Structure 1
């Protein structure tokens, strides 16, 4: 139940900053890295930073510890590590290049509730 609360919080934070293409991958049976990936994109570096910052701020305001945030300065692919949930905020070009949805194609997608 805790993961659902975090997932809802993260997807809403992404949506609040107008992230596009929000996807949730259920990684439980596919990888030991995390239980879920939240993947989204921004259209430019400033928007990518705004999305990542909002995810971090909202998580901390709600008492969740952000273990690590990588890639913020370059704002091409920002990874926000919330433990069981990892949020990947991509610049549009990088998202199409790395295509995590295809790379982790065995992971079922969950419905995004906004």
Structure 2
């Protein structure tokens, strides 16, 4: 399935929150440290699976986030993209990762760490994958 939502962060001093989407027990995280990350959800401290890239973004701007999971052949492929709300959706996925030891099921959800600053969420949608 694919989950999509709009996010807007506030800034507190030089700090930004982390915010994002949950899909099949994976997180697409737009991090305040100017990174975009896909990672497995875990209740423990260790990070079993993650892919991270630099991603510049700013406070007080709405962004649309889209996160897709596809399970095939015993693996899960995860794809994410982020763009300014109101602009055209990028044709290509900006971050992609494959987990060879996948979470085979899990609910959609929203993620956030607003310890450093607050964020807002709008227009949440969950849909079956479109080919």
TM-score by length of 1: 0.30
Whose relative contact order is higher, 1 or 2, with alpha carbons under 8 Å and at least 6 apart?
Answer: 2
* Structure index of larger Rg: 2
Q: More helix by proportion, 1 or 2?
A: 1
Q: More strand by proportion, 1 or 2?
A: 2
TM-score by length of 2: 0.28
